């Protein structure tokens, strides 16, 4: 019997797991997919919002501002790239400036620090490339950029370091209420747990429906993005938002922590919770919309496009509470933007809920808030490079030349807790394949290393999901040509 079962290994599930791993609890994270952070967490804008735009009195308003302040510490402890670069919400006319002012006022009420409403001269100073027609902006210096999937992975690693368990490829089929807890049936296992924390993202309503009639629905709202190559340069220095409309925050242009440029998203309400394909219309909208911010965005430097699904709650706000009927079942649902920004504060709040239900929690004396330091070879000084190769020669072999990722880093990413078992898993953790060549050169090398470290044949190495085989077999072994005559074009004169 577990004390806590967390369903969903996105940034919310893993953050809660990490915070609960401070206490003496037997805990398991149940994830339907083949890796942690494989849903919304891996496909979003990767922004830590300052928190001026949520309504006062809402969960969003409450958690965003607090959550924002917590990132420096957690990212330091977990060695996750995070940069507080600030954001601008730009206005093109006086009408939009009104919105800017009201955002500012709203931000003050919510406690957002150091905001400024700035004029076009100041905008130009901060962001010389932007459209000259901009009349002013809201500057929020506390906004930041992060690698959300690296955050979730490191949170999972740290939770496991501190005793939590992780079950991948376990899709929850049904949940039975049993004496003093729940019986969770997955496609692989039956798990008994006193408490269940539902962090299932776009599926949170479906999971909740297994124990009670949900009073909310989750609508998958798709957003599509472009990612530009590093060589696109620093076209912007800060996160640049357009003035919000009823439809949301609109298309943003921002640097990423890995020095790419991210552009997106659009917003499409869908029914299909797996619809993460990009569309010509969607990308076209993003492109056109972004060109309003900066006309000459070098879209020819695009290295990839992707789409993610936000978990849009029918209630309009985060749902973070113990179910009224299903005792010990905690919903953490509808965590759309600013969900990532709020995640540390949400996790703390959920810990309080668990404390309440459990009548307090006992702290572990040996809780270690830090993970083993990651080596980022490309960032080392020449001296450090020399030393690390002496210590472990695998750091002297570069596997990904676009991002200068060494074999040592890849092996480490595989062998950590919550380690990589797939090509995309390696890519999310140490980034080979995220550069210009998109894995063309390093992909086969990464597969070789995975096969070696995991003791598998290369053809059993998958890209991402359990059945996403890259290779279909060996050459020479399956083919026996029968109708040989039909396969070749005959001599012309016959």
Partner 1 sequence: MDTRELVCIICPIGCRMTVVKDDYVSLGYKVTGNTCNRGEAYAVKEMTNPTRVIPTTVKIKNAQLNRLPVKTNAPVPKGLIFECMNIINKVEVEAPVRLGDIIIENILGTGIDVVATKTMEKI
Partner 2 sequence: MLNYDIVVVGGGPAGLAAAIEAKKNGADHIVVIDREYELGGILQQCIHNGFGLHIFKEELTGPEYAERFIDELKEMNIEYKLDTMVLHINKDKQLSVINTVDGFLKIQAKAIILAMGCRERTRGAIAIPGSRPVGVMTAGTAQRFINMEGYMVGKKVVILGSGDIGLIMARRLTLEGAKVMAVAELMPFSSGLTRNIVQCLEDYNIPLLLSHTVIDIKGKERVESVVISKVDENRKPIPGTEIEYECDTLLLSVGLIPENELSKSAGIKLAQVTGGPIVNESMETTVEGIFACGNVVHVHDLVDWVTEESKKAGKNAARFIKKEIKPSKEIVKTIPGEGISYIVPHIIRSVNLEETVDLFMRVKNVYKNAKLVVKADEEIIKEIKKNYMAPGEMEQLKIPSSLFKEKQISEISVVVIKDGE
Residue 484 makes contact with partner 1 by CB under 8 A: yes
Residue 489 makes contact with partner 1 by CB under 8 A: yes
State the minimum distance, in angstroms, from the CB of residue 473 to partner 1. Answer: 13
Tokens linked to 391: 């210590």
Q: How far apart are CA 484 and CA 487, in angstroms?
A: 5
Alpha helices in 79-147 (DSSP H): 94-110, 120-126
Applying CB under 8 A, the site for partner 1 has a residue count of 15
Q: Which of 128, 360, 455, 490 binds partner 1 (CB under 8 A)?
A: 490
Q: Are 435 and 229 in contact (CB under 8 A)?
A: yes
Residue 55 contacts by C-beta under 8 Å, 6 or more apart in sequence? 61, 106
Residues 443-482 that bind partner 1 (CB under 8 A): 475-477, 479-481
Q: Are 141 and 86 in contact (CB under 8 A)?
A: yes
Out of partner 2, partner 1, none, what residue 121 binds, judged by CB under 5 to 8 A for its kind, is none
Q: Footprint of partner 2 on this chain (CB under 8 A)?
A: 227, 231, 274, 276-280, 282-283, 302-306, 382, 385-386, 389-390, 393-394, 396-398, 401-402, 404, 436-438, 440-441, 443-444, 458-459, 462-465, 467-476, 478-479, 481, 487-489
Per the annotation, the verdict on 465 as an active-site residue is no
Residue 491 makes contact with partner 1 by CB under 8 A: yes
Burial 94-111, CB ≥16 within 10 A → b, else e? eebbebbeebbebbeebe
Out of partner 1, partner 2, none, what residue 485 binds, judged by CB under 5 to 8 A for its kind, is partner 1
State the minimum distance, in angstroms, from the CB of residue 220 to partner 2. Answer: 14
The residue count of the chain comes to 494
State the minimum distance, in angstroms, from the CB of residue 222 to partner 2. Answer: 12
Nearest by Cα to 169 from 25, 42, 36, 50? 36
Out of partner 2, partner 1, none, what residue 459 binds, judged by CB under 5 to 8 A for its kind, is partner 2
Which of 190/488 has CB closer to partner 1?
488
Which of 362/474 has CB closer to partner 2?
474
State the minimum distance, in angstroms, from the CB of residue 440 to partner 2. Answer: 5
Residue 190 makes contact with partner 1 by CB under 8 A: no
Residue 246 makes contact with partner 1 by CB under 8 A: no
Q: How far apart are CA 313 and CA 304, in angstroms?
A: 29
The kind and range of the H/E element at 282 are: helix 280-293
State the minimum distance, in angstroms, from the CB of residue 476 to partner 1. Answer: 4
Which of 95/493 has CB closer to partner 1?
493
- Catalytic residue (one of 49, 101, 258, 465): 49
Q: How far apart are CA 69 and CA 480, in angstroms?
A: 64
Return the axis-axis angle of helices 11-20 and 339-358, rounded to nearest 10°. 40
For residue 280, cis peptide bond before it (omega within 30 degrees of 0): no
Q: How far apart are CA 268 and CA 454, in angstroms?
A: 40
Catalytic residue annotation = 49
Write out the residues near partner 1 by the rule CB under 8 A.
Answer: 475-477, 479-481, 484-485, 487-493
């Amino acid at each position: 019997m577990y004390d806590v079962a967390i369903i969903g290994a996105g940034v919310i599930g893993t953050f809660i797991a990490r915070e609960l791993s401070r206490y003496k609890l037997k805990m398991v994270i149940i994830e339907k997919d083949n890796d942690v952070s494989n849903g919304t967490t891996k496909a979003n804008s990767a922004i830590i919002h300052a928190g001026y735009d949520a309504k006062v009195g809402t969960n969003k308003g409450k958690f965003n501002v607090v959550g924002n302040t917590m990132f420096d510490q957690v990212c330091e402890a977990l060695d996750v790239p995070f940069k507080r670069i600030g954001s601008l919400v730009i206005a093109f006319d006086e009408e939009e400036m009104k919105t800017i002012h009201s955002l500012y006022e709203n931000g003050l009420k919510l406690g957002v620090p150091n905001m400024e409403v700035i004029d076009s001269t100041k905008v130009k100073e901060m962001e010389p490339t932007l459209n000259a027609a901009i009349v002013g902006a809201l500057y929020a210096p506390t906004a930041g950029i992060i690698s959300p999937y690296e955050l979730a992975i490191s949170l999972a690693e740290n939770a496991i370091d501190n005793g939590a368990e992780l079950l991948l490829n376990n899709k929850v089929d049904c949940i039975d209420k049993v004496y003093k807890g729940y019986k969770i049936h997955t496609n692989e296992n039956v798990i008994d747990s006193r408490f269940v924390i539902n962090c299932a993202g776009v599926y949170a309503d479906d999971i909740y429906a297994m124990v009670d009639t949900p009073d909310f629905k989750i609508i998958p709202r798709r957003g599509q993005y472009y990612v530009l190559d590093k060589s696109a340069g620093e076209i912007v220095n800060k996160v640049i938002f357009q003035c919000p409309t009823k439809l949301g925050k609109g298309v943003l242009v921002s640097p990423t922590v890995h020095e790419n440029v991210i552009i997106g998203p659009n917003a499409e309400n869908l029914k299909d919770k797996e619809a993460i394909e990009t569309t010509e219309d969607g990308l076209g909208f993003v492109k056109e919309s972004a060109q309003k911010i900066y006309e000459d965005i070098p879209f020819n430097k695009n290295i990839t496009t992707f789409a993610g699904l936000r978990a849009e709650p029918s209630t309009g706000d985060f749902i973070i509470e113990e179910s009224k009927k299903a005792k010990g079942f905690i919903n953490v649902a509808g965590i759309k933007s600013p969900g990532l920004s709020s995640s540390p504060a949400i996790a703390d709040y959920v810990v309080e809920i668990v404390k309440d239900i459990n009548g307090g929690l006992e702290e572990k004396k040996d809780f270690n808030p830090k993970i083993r330091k990651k080596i980022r070879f490309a960032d080392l000084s020449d001296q450090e490079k020399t030393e690390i190769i002496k210590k472990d020669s695998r750091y002297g072999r570069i596997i990904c030349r676009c991002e200068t990722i060494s074999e040592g880093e890849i092996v480490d990413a595989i062998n950590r807790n919550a380690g990589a078992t797939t090509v995309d898993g390696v890519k999310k953790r140490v980034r080979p394949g995220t550069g210009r060549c998109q894995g063309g050169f390093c992909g086969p090398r990464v597969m070789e290393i995975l096969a070696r470290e995991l003791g598998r044949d290369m053809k059993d190495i998958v890209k991402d999901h359990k059945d996403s085989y890259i290779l279909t077999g060996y050459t020479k072994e399956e083919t026996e040509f029968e109708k040989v005559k039909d396969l070749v074009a005959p001599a012309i004169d016959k």
